């Protein structure tokens, strides 16, 4: 499938043409900017070579209207689909969506949250619909990747009516963070689900993202693209009290302050220019304002990096991307310096010799550094093209119904724990079998104790494991006074400690988790349902009119598994489930391998 991608900004337009199949190939890329006097500057790389020229296009819609002729001149012909980058999709758009009048209206309603970005995206979509009226067009949202962030990361401590109106943290640059995380995992030869990774997208717009086991769990941008790191013309984090102060001191309205925070702040405010290369040149020449600007930028990024390491319980990988992240060795060094306590050490020579040609993603950490540090070009357009193709390749909806089991709090014990709790030589007595072959509930029970309280008579599941694992709900965790992470079974590193109490003694252990919802299935059922091991799917549960969709449910395929979905008691309560239940697997994208 040939996909034309548009990334429309407030003052520029980037486009690309990608052939998406089992591998992906970029056929053309172009940037149009410096609009003024009815003209713009175009930089185009395609089958006919690379060129830069001034064109008689007054604005972005005029450029898009001329793209069919450009494609024809490059010998590419019409695309099969068009993909659009849209900055803000709110909480509504968890996945790519077909562009139609209803979508345009919803994106327009979100414009107050992204006043620099959503209007440009809307203009691009409307112009493309006029240029290719019969072609499928898909919107891909910057915010979608971050909708896996837990409520504790997205909730502002503000009055409930404000929160009810949609005031929460969303995060942006999602397509970039998603791409570089996948690129880093591929470069390291490790599954993304095994990594604790911080992605630093540093450019005129800048953000940090904490990615734990393949999911975004926090991002430095918030309700709007203003929050977080220092950017070219955007302030990043400021005290919200400045609105009242500036109104009292200078008589500025909220709209005037907001506009200044978007357009007159960041590097521009600190150093007088918004381009980091120019800031670094001025700093090298002795400009103290430029020197301060660099220090502020690096300090803010380093704070977020350290905070996200704490949020994830450790750090395996840091990835630099974006114009500054890719090109400024000194900024990479400033951000990483002082993080040796995390096991992060840069190699100066490797940092200075970064070469990103041919899609390289070099590692620049020192030998012996526990944390890997990579640099890679971002490929937002490629990611948008792939997600557009995947969305259009979704199979027609069909019945994919599976049984749902509610998993109450329980423990899996190892031999040492059994001996400590029930006495040396004790063997657990199976009381009744579970649906999964070879698994059972024991007659014995155990008490869980945390700093706040106890949970009595907790079930023990067999057979024994190599390591103790304790699974509770979020509500249970408050009763214990502990904060376990949401994890797949077996992922127990850096989990909280608690005490197990049995009739013969106690056992101190880590391994406390909230089990991530998942689906067990076997190869035959997986083939029937169109699933593969490691897939992440959405499942709809609940009675008609009160359906609840559980997103990002992991699929585990085993030759001996019985097909069923496992959720915990909190999730069952949210869906209003009582007793036996079924869920419907919603259609999921076809798999398209990256280039």
Q: Is 522 annotated as a binding residue?
A: no
pLDDT tens-digit readout, 265-318:
999 999 999 999 999 999 999 999 999 999 999 999 999 999 999 999 999 999
The reported pLDDT for the residue numbered 256 is 97
The reported pLDDT for the residue numbered 565 is 94
Is the pLDDT at 257 greater than 70, yes or no?
Answer: yes
The reported pLDDT for the residue numbered 545 is 65
Under CATH, what is the fold of the domain 1-141?
Nucleotidyltransferase; domain 5 (3.30.420)
- Cα–Cα distance for residue pair 212/193, rounded to 1 Å: 7
Is the pLDDT at 588 greater than 70, yes or no?
Answer: no
Mean pLDDT, to the nearest integer, of 530-536?
A: 86
- Cα–Cα distance for residue pair 514/498, rounded to 1 Å: 14
Residue 588 token pair = 């999921």
Mean pLDDT, to the nearest integer, of 90-100?
A: 90
Report the percentage of the chain scoring pLDDT > 90: 79
Sign of the alpha-carbon torsion through 212, 559, 438, 550: positive
Q: Is 573 annotated as a binding residue?
A: no
DSSP assignment string, 280-309? HHHHHTT-HHHHHHHHHHHHHHHHHHHHHH
Is the pLDDT at 589 greater than 60, yes or no?
Answer: no
The whole-chain average pLDDT of the chain stands at 92
The CATH number of the domain covering residues in 145-393: 3.30.420.40
Smallest Cα–Cα separation from 268: which of 231, 240, 300?
231
Q: Is 372 annotated as a binding residue?
A: no
Q: Is 377 annotated as a binding residue?
A: no
Question: Model-level pTM?
Answer: 0.85
Residues assigned a catalytic role = 142
Mean pLDDT, to the nearest integer, of 138-158?
A: 94
Q: Is 29 annotated as a binding residue?
A: no
Q: Is 204 annotated as a binding residue?
A: yes
pLDDT range class, residue 574, cuts 50, 70, 90: confident
- Contact indicator for 393, 589 with CB cutoff of 8 Å: yes
pLDDT range class, residue 112, cuts 50, 70, 90: confident
Q: Is 327 annotated as a binding residue?
A: yes
The reported pLDDT for the residue numbered 593 is 41
Q: Give the three-class secondary structure for 319.
A: strand
Q: Verify cis geometry, omega within 30 degrees of 0, for the bond prior to 345.
A: no
- Cα–Cα distance for residue pair 344/333, rounded to 1 Å: 11
Left (φ > 0), alpha (ψ -120 to 50) or beta: where does 368 sit? left
- Cα–Cα distance for residue pair 375/351, rounded to 1 Å: 9
pLDDT range class, residue 595, cuts 50, 70, 90: very low
Q: Is 7 annotated as a binding residue?
A: yes
- Kindly list the domain boundaries of the chain, sorted by start residue: 1-141, 145-393, 395-588
95 versus 295: which is more confidently predicted?
295
DSSP E strands in 21-142: the ranges are: 24-36, 39-46, 49-55, 81-86, 97-98, 137-141
Q: Is 149 annotated as a binding residue?
A: no
Count other Cβ atoms within 10 Å, centred on residue 464.
16
- Cα–Cα distance for residue pair 415/427, rounded to 1 Å: 9
Domains 1-141 and 145-393 share a fold: yes
- Report the largest interatomic distance among the alpha carbons of the chain, rounded to a whole angstrom: 87
The reported pLDDT for the residue numbered 591 is 46
Q: Is 326 annotated as a binding residue?
A: yes
pLDDT tens-digit readout, 318-359:
999 999 999 999 999 999 999 999 999 999 999 999 999 988
């Amino acid at each position: 499938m040939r996909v034309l991608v548009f990334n429309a900004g407030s003052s520029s337009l980037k486009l690309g043409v990608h052939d998406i199949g089992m591998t992906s190939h970029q056929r053309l890329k172009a940037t149009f900017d410096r609009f003024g006097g009815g003209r713009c500057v175009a930089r185009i790389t395609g089958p006919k070579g690379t060129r830069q020229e001034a064109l008689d296009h007054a604005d972005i819609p005029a450029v898009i209207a001329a793209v069919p002729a450009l494609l024809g001149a490059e010998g590419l012909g019409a695309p099969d689909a068009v993909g659009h980058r849209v900055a803000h999709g709110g909480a509504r758009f968890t996945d790519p969506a077909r562009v139609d009048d209803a979508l345009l209206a919803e994106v327009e309603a979100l414009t107050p949250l992204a006043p620099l970005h959503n209007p440009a995206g809307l203009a691009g979509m409307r112009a493309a619909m006029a240029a290719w009226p019969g072609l499928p067009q898909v919107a891909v949202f910057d915010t979608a990747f971050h909708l896996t962030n837990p409520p504790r990361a997205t909730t502002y401590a503000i009055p409930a009516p404000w929160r009810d109106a949609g005031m929460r943290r969303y995060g942006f640059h999602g397509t970039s963070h998603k791409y570089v995380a996948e690129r880093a995992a591929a470069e390291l030869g490790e599954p993304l689900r095994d990594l604790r990774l911080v992605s630093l997208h540093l450019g005129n717009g800048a953000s940090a993202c904490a990615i734990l086991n393949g999911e975004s769990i926090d991002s430095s941008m918030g309700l709007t693209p203003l929050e977080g790191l220092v950017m070219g013309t955007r302030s990043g984090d400021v005290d919200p009290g400045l609105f009242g102060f500036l109104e009292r001191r200078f008589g500025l309205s909220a709209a005037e302050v907001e506009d200044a925070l978007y357009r007159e702040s960041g590097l521009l405010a600190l150093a007088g220019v918004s381009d980091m290369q120019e800031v670094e040149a001025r700093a090298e020449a002795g400009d103290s304002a430029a020197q301060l600007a660099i220090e502020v930028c690096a300090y803010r990024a380093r704070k977020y990096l350290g905070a996200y390491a704490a949020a994830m319980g450790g750090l395996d990988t840091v990835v630099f991307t974006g114009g500054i992240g890719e090109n400024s060795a000194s900024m990479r060094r400033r951000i990483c310096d002082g993080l040796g306590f995390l096991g992060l050490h840069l190699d100066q020579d490797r940092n200075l010799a970064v070469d990103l040609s041919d899609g390289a993603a070099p590692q620049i950490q020192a030998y012996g550094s526990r944390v890997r540090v990579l640099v890679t070009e971002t490929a937002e357009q490629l990611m948008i093209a792939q997600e557009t193709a995947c969305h259009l390749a979704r199979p027609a909806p069909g019945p994919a119904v599976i049984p749902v089991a509610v998993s109450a709090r329980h423990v899996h014990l190892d031999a040492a724990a059994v001996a400590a709790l029930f006495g040396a030589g004790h063997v657990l007595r199976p009381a009744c079998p579970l649906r999964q072959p070879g698994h059972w509930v024991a007659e014995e029970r155990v008490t869980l104790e945390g700093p706040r309280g106890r949970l009595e008579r907790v079930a023990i599941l067999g057979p024994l494991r190599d390591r103790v694992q304790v699974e509770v709900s979020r509500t249970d965790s408050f009763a214990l006074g502990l904060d376990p992470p949401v994890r797949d079974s077996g992922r127990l590193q850096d989990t909280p400690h608690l005490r197990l109490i049995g009739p013969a003694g106690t056992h101190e252990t880590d391994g406390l988790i909230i089990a991530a919802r998942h689906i067990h299935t076997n190869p035959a059922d997986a083939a029937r349902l169109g699933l593969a091991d490691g897939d992440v799917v959405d499942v709809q549960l609940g009675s008609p009119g009160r359906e609840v969709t559980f997103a990002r449910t992991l699929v585990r395929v085993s030759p001996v598994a019985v097909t069923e979905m496992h959720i915990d008691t909190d999730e069952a309560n949210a869906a209003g489930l009582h007793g036996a239940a079924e869920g419907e697997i919603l259609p999921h994208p076809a798999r398209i391998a990256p280039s």
